[in-house]
Structure 1
Amino acid sequence: MSWLKRLFSVRSTTSRIAFGQVSMLISVTLVAIILGILPDFLGTRLKDRVSLAEAIAANSSVLITQTDLIRLESVLNLVVERNDELLSAGVRRADNRLVVNISNHQTDWNKGLNEEAIDQQMIVPIIAGRQQWGALELKFKPLYGEGILGFYHRPTVQFILFCGVILYLLYFLYLTKMLKQLDPSQAVPDRVRAALDTMAEGLIVLDRKAQIVLANQAFSDLLSRSSSSLMGFEVDKLPWQLKEDASTDDFPWLAAMNTGKAEMNQTVRLELEDGVRTFMVNCSPVLADEGKAGGVLVSFDDITQLEEQEVELRRSKAEAEQANRAKSDFLANMSHEIRTPMNAILGFTEALKRGYGKNEQNNEHYLSTILVNGEHLLNLINDILDLSKVEAGHLDVESVALKPYQIISEVIQVMSVKAQEKGIALAYRPEGSIPETLMSDPARFRQIITNLVGNAIKFTEAGGVTVVTRMDTQQNKLITEVRDTGIGMTAEQAISVFDPFVQADSSITRRFGGTGLGLAISKKFAEAMEGEIYARSEPEKGSQFYLELNVKTDGPVALISAEEISELKQSEATLNVARWKFPDASVLVVDDGIENRELISLVLSEQGIKTDGAADGVEALEKLAVNQYDLVLMDVQMPRMDGYTAAREIRKKEMTLPVIALTAHAMKGIEQKCLDSGYSGYMSKPINIDKLIQLLVHELDAEPLSEACNDDRALDNGTVGVSYHSSSPNQSISALTLDDSSQLSPLYSELGASNPKFEKIVARFIVRVNDVYKQIQSCSTQQDFTVLRAHAHWLKGSAGSVGFPGLTDLAVKLEQTAIKQEVAGTEMLVAAIGVMIKRINLAKDNPNGINSLSTQTDNQWVIPETVTSELASQGEKFRLIAVKFVAKLEHQITQMKQELDGNDFSALADLAHWLKGAGGSVGFPVFTEIAKALEKAAQAENGPECETLIATVDEIHKRINL
């Protein structure tokens, strides 16, 4: 039975070869028949029938001519009787009348039979004279039957079937004997094979093509196949389960065969009927001539159960470590929370000790901060002592009167230091009226707000954090929202982030730190206070955390408006401006623009810092080699040697001093590129003097001083504080898109309100922003995203500088949507910007307001009637820098025209690059975008556009008034 099974098994190598040889013989036979090499039996018989029919028709024609139908009938009757294949015959006249009927021909004759079936019925014309008299009809037996049986009766089919069966048996018997001599497995003695079959681990031998030439019983049983059926099977085609980043080229037996070295203790997984099994594989190459591997011996040891036990042990260990880490993470989080108020306490105590409090007002502010943070620290200690209740979820909360706006303001004051360190905005924006007091737990409320604001600052690298409060009158709830412009989360992460020790993903902990416990504690606090906390977020679009508390009071709910909150905070704000005492320090300023070097040198000399200058990277390295500096402020794009190369050379020389990048490039990724090159910091042009001083304070360890804010020098040093407004410039776009201007409140500039010296700057901005907005609307309608992006970029940089941060936020979003060419988002943002500009225009009745004085050139560039330097208004020394720039600009414009006439676009691009960096630095931001466009046009060698832009630059130069 096994022999018969192997005979007809398609898996048998012998049967496959025998079947292939028979198939080739049959194919050759069919080709020979088609070419006429072999006789066609059916064709020969058909020809004989045709000859018989022609002979009878010829004889019939003679008899018809003689009108001897009786003799014709006798002849046909004789032919039918003597020919077994002829069933009937008849003669039919031209008028279709049958005149001779032999053997019931009229009944047997099938008029509907296909005319091409000449093997069964034949019709031959009968000619009388020169005309067709009629036709001879002959009915024959079919040459072959109908259906499968008739097909089998064909001689060709019988011949092929006979040869196929007989030759298959002969080939099978022959190959069984021959392949036994050639089969490598047969070279193994029976006693050795029996020994291999008794092994518990699977064993196979592969040839150079990774085909199986020997398999023991254990391996065959794994696949539920016989050893002989595996002969010649490619082992790579088995259902191996590969890793995500792996391919079939990574199999250990292929590596052993390619290298000629053994591969030991490799793990592979095979998908079988009972599931996925794991094997420990050892591969030993079988060396042939010249030391090359002619094959490989592979053993498979099933370690599935051991692996499952190991996974279970690792899981148990991880659970134990997680349980142990939970307490450590909690203590680490508490340590972090304690340090925040402790730093404030120690810092302001040190300030009092050193006598920084010059007046009673300062001392009161410092002591108030110490008191607030001391109480907060005491509450944290109480929470630690009540740890068992926190873990059990049973928290005791108080129900006393608290002022939400006051606690939020105090948290903002404490957390503003962190925000300033990261260079992001932090503000409190009350929307509408909220309860002045409510009954709840002040300590828990403070802790929740602190956690939410702290998390928002931690995960925000650009933009800002805003705390918004509003009243839900329908549900009688106070909603506190913490918005940020940080990294954001997915919807799933926004839910799981409130679980203990969970952050958005593992990379968050490495990047930002933290234990992930703050939000979990905040959620427990909120639930204990009969409120709820939840989050909404999108990746890369920031997050919004919401705290909702039921409004409970002892009596009627007393509401306080947003304007009243702003007035209270302004009355409590101190009127001091930060001043700094810098140590003896020397700074090297590296920039190819002399105006930039003069400006930075002037700012630094005003702070008592020594400066030195260099025009490019080569000169900077030369000066660093002979002089001692404490800091380097270096441009990025310079002739001879750029800033990237210079920074790398500085680090190669093992110089550890800070090197800060100053560049007009503000594209995404430039800051990281600077840091990767060796810079230790980054600042974009035009240089913000306040930010520059803050950077110097940090790098040079300056000590704070205190002077009255009416000191004119405070303008150059900047201030740090929190502003409060009746409505938020960061509010949602949907809330801004109001068509009724009567519902809008005037929006005044923070810059104009802080110092009257900035009123002219604000006024000029209001003039220009109205003109630019017309261009923005036109670009939005025409979907000209390139120009729209340029206008949004200008608005992004200018609005915040003149005290409209809300307009900056919208401009940032507009620039992003213009880059992505999102039509719907662009239209919504343009409408929102229009509403905010309406609010700014509503402030024109204020003394700071001003009517539009700008004009527009023939192209898209908007030029004010009078162009002044924002830098010149800050003092005579700054004005002289602007005067030098204007004088040099006249020469540079002449040079631009000459380079254009000579088609030297490379030199023209260099001049445009100088103007792009120098113009904004000396207080002429109107040149920045135009110079950028001119540089791009020069690089593209677009002569007509360059001529237009140079004319625009020349027109602006003529309107300069210092």
Structure 2
Amino acid sequence: MRRFARRFPWLAFLIRSFVMFSAAFGGAYGFISASASPTAGYDPHAFAIGASFLFALACVALVTMSIRMRFLQKRMRKVSALNEALVDRNWELKEAEERARHLFEAQDDLIVIRDQAGRITYVNDAYCTLAETPRDALVGSAFELTVLEQGDSAHEPNGTSIHDQCIASATGPRWIAWREGMVRIDANRPAELQSVGRDVTDRTETERALSDARDHANAANRAKSRFLAMASHEIRTPLNGILGMSGLLLDTQLSPEQTTYTRAVKTSGESLLSLIEELLDYSKIEAGKIDLDYRPFALSTLIEDITELLAPRAQARDLEIAAYIDERLPLEVIGDSGRLRQVLLNLTGNAIKFTNKGGVAVIVEPGIWPNEISFIVRDTGIGIASDAQQRIFREFEQADERTARHFGGTGLGLSISERIVKRMNGRITLQSAPGIGSTFEVSIPLVASNDRAEAFLPPDLTGQSVMLVAPQSIETSLIARRLERWGAATCMVSDPEVALALMPERTWRAVLIDRALGADAFERLSERAIPHATQRIGLFTPAMRHELQPTATTGLTGYLIKPLRAASLAKLLDMPAHAQATIEETESTASEMTAGEGLSILVAEDNEINALLMRSLLTRLGHRTVVTTNGEQALESWLASDAAGTPFDLVLMDIQMPKLDGIETAKRIRAREAGQRVRRTPILALTANTLVEDRYACFEAGMDGFLLKPLDREKLEEALKHLATGRQLTV
């Protein structure tokens, strides 16, 4: 009965209502009929009560039926609304299914669905077109496209498989990129494999063409590098003879005309060498072969070495050059000192080249970011126009054609410097105005080294007066700045007469006198009697120092060579006024060390001119030399000296030689030493090759260092000095 009521609620409701009404009506009718009977013993009161009860019962039944009717009407309206919603949803689903079907069919991508047995349950038109088979024939079959080549494959974390295939088609081979994954289309059916393929033939062919082009470019780049290395070697070898011989020729007695011609030859050779270096550096950077060697180095030593190296060039043009390193910076930092030196040499060298009067300052101070150091190169040169300030950082570009013709150069220096700075995670900026000068600022992150570097202790000049008598110049301002940082009350005077008048006025800790004031003014200031014990320190350029008469420095307690080193200035200021201390003592000591101690040196060099140059240079430095022309002779000479008990102190080995090259000769020497000898002979490579792999080959062969051709006389003397003092060779 309950099941019938749930299935037919309206009919069950009508039946219940009819039964209740019939029972109430029948009861009322029977009661009235019985009361109307003559024998019924009619009681009007009982009749009224019964009738009222029956009427109330009928009313309750009617009210109940009315409430149920209203409730059923609400339920019917809800059911009707739900039914309409279901009908609408059904239509939407049908439309979505139809759209999806049309979308699948309209897709250019291949779509195929297979059951777990590999039989096709659905394919779109694109797949049918590629397979050249109608849909009816494909559905239900295990058809597979013909695979010509299998490409790369991969799996995603969600289980999707990705792979490429080269498929045979009527139009030729086509590359298809497939994405395959399990999908459940019907809840009553197991999951099926859906494969979606996209034609990527054009992309694949483009990638392969790019790959082939990249391989060809890499091969061409390697060939270019080999060509540059070979060309560099072939150019450097005769250039070594030109520069070396012109240097030796300048040391002989020549007429003024011959000296001019010889210096022209040497200058031209140095210009050619600079051009080769820039081209090789640009080639390395372009090929991405710029490697950084991070090691601890002293900031002050690097900067002061650069200014001293470029000082002769600046002083030859009557220019000042000076350096200042802020005392707040760490003594040692970790970075590539070689590359930083290259950048600063380029910027400072350009500043000297484009400056006609005034000077160049190299200032090092903390940057705006933590662990950042700013290297500022400021000049008073011709300046750069605003429209050219970005252009000069491009390859083979200069400010204008007139500048290029007048000053020369390749236009590569700034481009190389900018790329090196960016490789070091730094930045390079420029501020310039025509006719005023330029300021290049290189900001690089350099972390302080944990090693404790030896540093000079700056003198405590707090409350003491120092007079600086010198023309207004870059070096003068930087010296005054340094003295003020040390606590001194610095008085800068450019007029000698004013300086003479001020000397007796107060107690001076020191008076610094610049020879640039003139010989007469310098002598009067150095000989002037001062009532208090005062240090008098002369400031000279190397040329001024050589021109001085011995009596010209008798009134001085010491002198310094410009550009000044902070340590040298501090050392003189710390000494008592009566102690005679000069840089000359240090220079003579260094000269004696450079001269060597009569080393026995074996030279392996196949070029006759370079061999003659090496013999002449080493003989002038006081060393004994044996010259061989190939690796076999060098090995024989080394073995003979070892057998005679007079081993060589050093071997200078050319890399490219006939019969036996320098690399193989060095290996054989090291092999003999490992088997028979205790003492290890230092070997330095003489090479015109500048590629990194050539340097690695030298070290792998057991060499201790290398000297680049054209041979730098100062580097050769430095290497011999290290050897003579028992220190490790680091050339």
Calculate the TM-score normalised by the size of structure 2. Answer: 0.30
The one of the two structures with greater contact order (alpha-carbon pairs below 8 A, sep at least 6) is: 2
